[in-house]
């Protein structure tokens, strides 16, 4: 492999962090752009507006819900019904956001400018469009991603979303004149619960700042660049190749959302595919087949089927596995929702988790490059098979 994976990883993780819309993000974008330029790509940056961290989004969602619940205690019937409306509105915004759909709360103040970095190798007579994606921003440190807590992350989100609905429902009954004390106790109990959730989900950021983001996701960026290098060496005819390195993934996949919205009308679905590389520094390479919180998102396109065949009976049997990831989501979710064939690659341990993500221990020294290198090999094979038009027989799920 010609691309200097270890050198690149070390240079990228030498930055203090790569938080979205920060000076360190801009340094990382410049570094990535320099590598893409050396590889012969036409490089551009695409600005977009985003909150700096998910902390802003969490405070808006919980703050708005709590405001609505408090207003229900007002003497004026009009104010009480305003409170009910506010509570339901923010419960709805939370449902959209945590089920990985567009939620207007991501456009609430305060907004900052972040940048996607795109490297493009156009083909004179392009017949196939391949997008190699990875996010290059890093996450705030989070207590919810500790070794004991992370396995319960999805359940915690489902409980919180359910309680938002329960609290808004109780507020509605109170506004209708129901004086049952249980409703008031329930509403105030939810207020205390969500205050605790706001503190628990954001205090890690205030205590420790951002992670170094070696596995999550310097490894993914390196994999995307290395795969691009190999595909270019393969000389595939008609290949229109783009490497898309997004920012603000750790806010809520905001950079990828903007990229898809900006470019989707240019893509032909049966001639476009995406490979998303995310967190490849510990565990075994995993082909993602399912994500989602309450709503289940299935990766069942032709490119995932190609990868599944390789894992079950091909060159990668015993070197990779199939898996599900329900702790947050990936940039590729927007492509799946848009009907663009997408392959999601990550690395999971024996418990189905990504070790050390969103923790101070996610450092270069602890990166295992084997999942990364295997991901590059698998991505190259899948792209070549997809371009050659090989058919795939789906195996039982």
The predicted-structure confidence for 234-272, as pLDDT tens digits, reads as follows: 999 999 999 999 999 999 999 999 999 999 999 999 999
In the prediction, which pLDDT does 6 show? Answer: 98
- Percent composition of the chain: helix, strand, coil (DSSP 3-state, to 5): 50, 15, 30
Asked whether the predicted pLDDT for residue 393 surpasses 80, the reply is no
Q: What value does the mean pLDDT of the chain take?
A: 95
Work out the average pLDDT over 82-101: 98
20 three-class SS: coil
Work out the average pLDDT over 122-126: 89
Query: pLDDT band at residue 392, thresholds of 50, 70 and 90?
Result: very low
Q: Which residues contact 206 (CB under 8 A, 6 or more apart)?
A: none
In the prediction, which pLDDT does 147 show? Answer: 80
Residue 243 dihedral angles phi and psi, to the nearest 5°:
-105, 125
Four-residue CA torsion sign, 19, 20, 22, 25: positive
The predicted-structure confidence for 22-67, as pLDDT tens digits, reads as follows: 999 999 999 999 999 999 999 999 999 999 999 999 999 999 999 9
Q: Is the peptide bond before 217 cis (omega within 30 degrees of 0)?
A: yes
State the Cα–Cα distance between residues 370 and 152, nearest whole angstrom: 28
In the prediction, which pLDDT does 391 show? Answer: 44
Query: pLDDT band at residue 390, thresholds of 50, 70 and 90?
Result: low
Are residues 55 and 251 in contact, defined by beta-carbon separation less than 8 angstroms?
Answer: no
Work out the average pLDDT over 77-83: 96
Work out the average pLDDT over 305-321: 95
Are residues 39 and 118 in contact, defined by beta-carbon separation less than 8 angstroms?
Answer: no
The owner of tokens 């295997």 is: 374
Asked whether the predicted pLDDT for residue 16 surpasses 60, the reply is yes
Q: Is the peptide bond before 320 cis (omega within 30 degrees of 0)?
A: no
Give the CA radius of gyration of the chain. Answer: 22
Query: Which residue, among 57, 58, 59, 360, has the nearest Cα to 208 in the 3D structure?
Result: 360
Asked whether the predicted pLDDT for residue 396 surpasses 90, the reply is no
The predicted-structure confidence for 349-360, as pLDDT tens digits, reads as follows: 999 999 999 999
212 burial (CB, 10 Å; 0-12 / 13-18 / 19+) is buried
What percentage of the chain carries pLDDT values higher than 70?
98
The predicted-structure confidence for 159-183, as pLDDT tens digits, reads as follows: 999 999 999 999 999 999 988 999 9
> Residue 192's CB: how many other CB atoms inside 10 A?
9
H/E stretch holding 302 reads helix 302-313
The predicted-structure confidence for 335-380, as pLDDT tens digits, reads as follows: 999 999 999 999 999 999 999 999 999 999 999 999 999 999 999 9
The reply to whether the predicted model has a pTM over 0.85 is yes
């Amino acid at each position: 492999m010609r691309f200097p994976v270890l050198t690149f990883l070390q240079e990228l993780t030498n930055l203090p962090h790569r938080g979205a819309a920060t000076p360190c993000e801009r340094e990382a974008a410049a570094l990535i752009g320099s590598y893409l330029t050396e590889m012969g790509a036409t490089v551009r940056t695409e600005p977009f507006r985003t909150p700096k961290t998910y902390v802003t989004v969490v405070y808006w969602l919980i703050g708005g819900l709590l405001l609505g619940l408090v207003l229900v205690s007002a003497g004026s019937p009009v104010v009480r019904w305003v409170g009910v409306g506010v509570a339901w509105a923010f419960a709805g915004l939370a449902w959209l956001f945590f089920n990985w759909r567009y939620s207007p709360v991501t456009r609430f103040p305060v907004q900052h400018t972040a940048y996607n970095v795109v490297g493009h190798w156009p083909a004179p007579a392009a017949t196939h469009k391949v997008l190699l994606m990875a996010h290059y921003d890093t996450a705030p440190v989070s207590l919810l991603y500790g070794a004991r807590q992370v396995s319960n992350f999805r359940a915690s989100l489902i409980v919180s979303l359910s309680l938002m609905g329960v609290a808004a429902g109780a507020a509605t009954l109170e506004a209708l004149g129901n004086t049952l004390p249980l409703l008031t106790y329930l509403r105030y109990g939810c207020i205390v619960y969500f205050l605790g959730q706001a503190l628990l989900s954001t205090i890690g950021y205030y205590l420790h700042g951002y992670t170094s983001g070696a596995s999550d996701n310097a490894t993914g960026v390196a994999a995307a660049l290395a795969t691009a290098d190999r595909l270019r060496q393969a000389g595939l005819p008609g290949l229109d190749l783009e490497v898309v390195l997004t920012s603000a993934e750790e806010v809520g996949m905001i950079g990828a959302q903007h990229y898809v919205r900006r470019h989707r009308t240019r893509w032909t679905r049966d001639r476009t595919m995406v490979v998303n590389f995310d967190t490849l520094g510990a565990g075994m390479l995993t082909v993602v087949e399912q994500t989602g919180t309450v709503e289940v998102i299935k990766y069942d396109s032709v490119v995932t089927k190609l990868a599944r065949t390789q894992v079950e009976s091909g060159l990668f049997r015993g070197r990779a596995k199939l898996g599900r990831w329900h702790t947050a989501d990936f940039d590729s979710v927007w492509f799946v929702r848009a009907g663009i064939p997408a392959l999601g690659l990550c690395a999971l341990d024996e418990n189905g988790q990504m070790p050390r993500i969103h923790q101070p221990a996610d450092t270069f020294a602890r990166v295992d490059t084997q999942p990364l290198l295997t991901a590059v090999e698998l991505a190259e094979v899948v792209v070549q098979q997809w371009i050659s038009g090989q058919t795939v027989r789906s195996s039982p799920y």
